[in-house]
Amino acid sequence: MAWFLRSKKNIEDSQQREMPDGLFTKCPTCDEVIYKRQFEEQLFTCIKCNHHFRIGSEEYIGIIFDENSFTETDTNIRSSDPLNFVDTKPYTERLADAYRRTDSADALTIGYGTIEGREISFGCMNFDFVGGSMGSVVGEKFYRAAKRAISRKTPLVIISTSGGARMQEAIFSLMQMAKTSAVLSELAEAKLPYISIMTDPTTGGVSASFAMLGDVNIGEPKALIAFAGPRVVEQTIRKKLPEGFQRAESVLKNGFLDMIVHRKDLRATISHVLMLLT
């Protein structure tokens, strides 16, 4: 979505159609016109209503890490379609499409770098890659990021955004919930901090595994954080959903987040927590 940062590939999503000349964008919540320069300064949030636009790992890395301190790792693993999954089209075609439309190798980017001089192991999900869904590659990369934290004795920081499990990897994707949680139990035994940041949306197999397991759970303003998505809940109970249901503010009130942090305060907050935990 950060259209101006992408030089390598053309993006065909609706966001670009909203911004034909690439000079301004419109806030989907309050219709405010936001100019490109302002937008970057505001870390892709709306100046008027604080709407947090969905961004990818590239932007988050720019926001939280010390300049030029981040190194991406494990860029060479790819989904291999173990079940030859076909629905209305083959999974391999969906993957090829996702590689073509995005800069991401899969729905999770991992690496390491420093925040105010402190080394962390890091992972950030990419919603534009098959809805940020978790398959074997996401699970394995998460595992490697956690293992790196353990071997380097550093904290682990993960930014999530996901529609849930990658259905085309069927049982393998379900088991990534177990795999990621199991390695977090090792990280816990090593007494290393894990900060989980949930952005819009964090649902399904991701919220019901590693995203909810932070020593400190942070939500972005208004982020949808849920197990079952609102449409599924609505279909099940056949009632209108209450205002603010499953939004970060109610998740905080219900006791499942430690805090909601504006994107401009994210770096300072991570640093603050880690200073006191390490």
Q: Which is nearer to Zn ion, 30 or 83 (CB)?
A: 30
Query: Residue 162 corresponds to which amino acid?
Result: S
With CB cut-offs between 5 and 8 Å by kind, which of Zn ion, other proteins, none does residue 27 bind? Zn ion
137 belongs to the binding site for other proteins (CB under 8 A) = yes
Total residues belonging to the chain: 278
With CB cut-offs between 5 and 8 Å by kind, which of Zn ion, other proteins, none does residue 173 bind? other proteins
136 belongs to the binding site for other proteins (CB under 8 A) = yes
Residues touching other proteins: how many (CB under 8 A)?
A: 65
Interatomic CA distance for residues 238 and 248, integer angstroms: 23
107 belongs to the binding site for other proteins (CB under 8 A) = no
CB 223 within 8 A of CB 264: no
Closest CA to 2 of 49, 57, 51, 50: 57
- Minimum separation from the CB atom of position 85 to other proteins (A): 5
Q: Which residues bind Zn ion (CB under 5 A)?
A: 27, 29-30, 32, 46, 48-49, 51
Does the N-terminal peptide bond of residue 201 adopt cis geometry, omega within 30 degrees of 0?
yes
The one among 2, 5, 213, 277 contacting other proteins by CB under 8 A? 213
Classify 23 as helix, strand or coil: coil
78 belongs to the binding site for other proteins (CB under 8 A) = yes
- Minimum separation from the CB atom of position 115 to Zn ion (A): 28
Computed on alpha carbons and rounded to an integer, the radius of gyration of the chain in Å comes to: 18
Positions in 236-275 near other proteins (CB under 8 A) = 236-237, 239, 241-242, 245-246, 250, 254-256
Q: Which is nearer to other proteins, 67 or 87 (CB)?
A: 87
165 belongs to the binding site for other proteins (CB under 8 A) = yes
For the chain, the distance separating the N- and C-terminal CA atoms, rounded to the nearest angstrom, is 35
The phi and psi torsions of 55 (rounded to 5 degrees) equal: -125, 170
Question: Which residues make beta-bridge pairs with 128?
Answer: none
Using CA atoms, how far residue 179 sits from 88, 119, 175, 269, 271, in Å, is: 29, 24, 6, 28, 28
Query: Which residue ranges make up the site for other proteins (CB under 8 A)?
Result: 76-80, 82-83, 85-88, 135-137, 139-140, 143, 165, 167, 169-179, 181-186, 188-189, 203-205, 207-213, 225-228, 232-233, 236-237, 239, 241-242, 245-246, 250, 254-256
